[in-house]
């Protein structure tokens, strides 16, 4: 059977007088080499949920959706707040593509893995809110990445998370306490009603969620498993679980079974 194909919605970046639709290499590499799936980058041209035709044209051809992290933040207009300079930067084209893609993937029961900005998008899509500059809140740790010119240092695995008892991630990650590379200044505020907390840090920040009553694998994580997906065991296992779900979906679709 051919390898499963997964969609990754792109970010937009302005470089050399051009607008680029792109995804960081680490996500593409983790999809190929850890999840063992073929990634397809979806341009950030915006998708219309009212018609659904464009979204379904994409989702009919893939077996999973991977929502990547990004330098930009989800615009607060999507969860009832105002945009501010300090809360940026924003990428409205990414929002207009990724948010409806997440919603429709969940409706269709297509496997979903949402990382960093992705977990925040997932929470917003299902009716939750976000908070920013969490390092300034009393009792919170500084979750931002260390200042370094070495990306291995910036993405170093250094933060302990506690996986909830009975969590769907306990077996996937290989334990109830896991070290991860979480680096962010924004996080889930009000948890969406359709989500279940799967892991937190010692200061209570939500680090992983799953979609309640999802028809397939549907998980969001705040850390960056893509960076060490080929060398760190828990990062690798997360991508392997996503890849297994995509292959199961592809097999069911190929055999004409209800998905």
Number of domains in the chain: 1
Asked if the model's pLDDT at residue 147 lies above 80, the reply is no
What's the pTM? 0.94
- Beta bridge pairs of residue 159: 180
pLDDT digits (tens, 9 = 90+) for 6-61: 999 999 999 999 999 999 999 999 999 999 999 999 999 998 777 677 899 999 99
129 falls within a domain: yes
Q: What is the Cα Rg of the chain in Å? A: 17
| pLDDT mean over 128-148 | 74
Determine phi and psi for 84, rounding to 5 degrees: -130, 155
- Beta bridge pairs of residue 12: 21
- pLDDT for res 47: 86
Computed over every residue of the chain, the mean pLDDT equals: 91
128 falls within a domain: yes
User: In this structure, what CATH number is given to the domain that contains residue 43?
Assistant: 3.40.50.880
DSSP 77: G
259 falls within a domain: no
73 falls within a domain: yes
237 falls within a domain: yes
Provide, rounded to the nearest whole percent, the portion of the chain with pLDDT above 90: 71
Q: Where are the alpha helices (DSSP H) in 109-207?
A: 117-125, 151-154, 169-173
Among 116, 121, 143, 168, the one annotated catalytic = 116
* Active-site residue, 168 included: no
Among 121, 198, 207, 226, the one annotated catalytic = 226
Asked if the model's pLDDT at residue 149 lies above 90, the reply is no
pLDDT digits (tens, 9 = 90+) for 92-128: 999 999 999 999 999 999 999 999 999 999 999 999 9
User: In 10-71, at which residue ranges do the beta strands (DSSP E only) sit?
Assistant: 11-15, 18-22, 38-42, 64-67
Residue 155: domain span: 5-254
Asked if the model's pLDDT at residue 195 lies above 60, the reply is yes
Asked if the model's pLDDT at residue 130 lies above 90, the reply is yes
Asked if the model's pLDDT at residue 258 lies above 60, the reply is no
Among 168, 198, 207, 224, the one annotated catalytic = 224
């Amino acid at each position: 059977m051919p390898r499963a194909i997964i969609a990754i919605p792109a970010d937009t970046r302005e470089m050399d007088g051009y607008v680029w639709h792109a995804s960081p290499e680490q996500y593409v590499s983790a999809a190929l080499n850890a999840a063992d799936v073929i990634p397809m980058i979806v341009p950030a041209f915006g998708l219309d949920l009212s018609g659904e035709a464009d979204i379904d044209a994409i989702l009919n051809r893939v077996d999973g959706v991977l929502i990547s992290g990004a330098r930009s933040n989800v615009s607060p207009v999507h969860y009832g707040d105002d945009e501010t300079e300090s809360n940026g930067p924003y990428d409205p084209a990414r929002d207009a593509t990724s948010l409806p893609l997440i919603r429709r993937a969940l409706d269709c029961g297509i496997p979903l893995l949402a990382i960093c900005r992705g977990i925040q998008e997932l929470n917003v899509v299902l009716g939750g809110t976000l908070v920013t500059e969490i390092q300034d809140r009393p009792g919170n740790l500084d979750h931002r990445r260390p200042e370094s010119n070495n990306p291995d240092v910036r993405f170093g695995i250094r933060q302990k998370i506690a996986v909830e008892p009975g969590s769907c991630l306990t077996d996937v990650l290989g334990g109830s306490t896991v070290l991860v590379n979480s680096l962010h200044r924004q996080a889930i505020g009000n948890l969406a009603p359709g989500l279940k907390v799967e892991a937190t840090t010692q200061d209570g920040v939500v680090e992983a969620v799953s979609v309640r009553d999802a028809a397939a694998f549907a998980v969001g994580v705040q850390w960056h498993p893509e960076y060490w997906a080929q060398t760190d065991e828990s990062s690798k296992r997360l991508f392997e679980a996503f890849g297994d779900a995509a292959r199961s979906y592809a097999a069911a679709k190929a055999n004409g079974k209800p998905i």
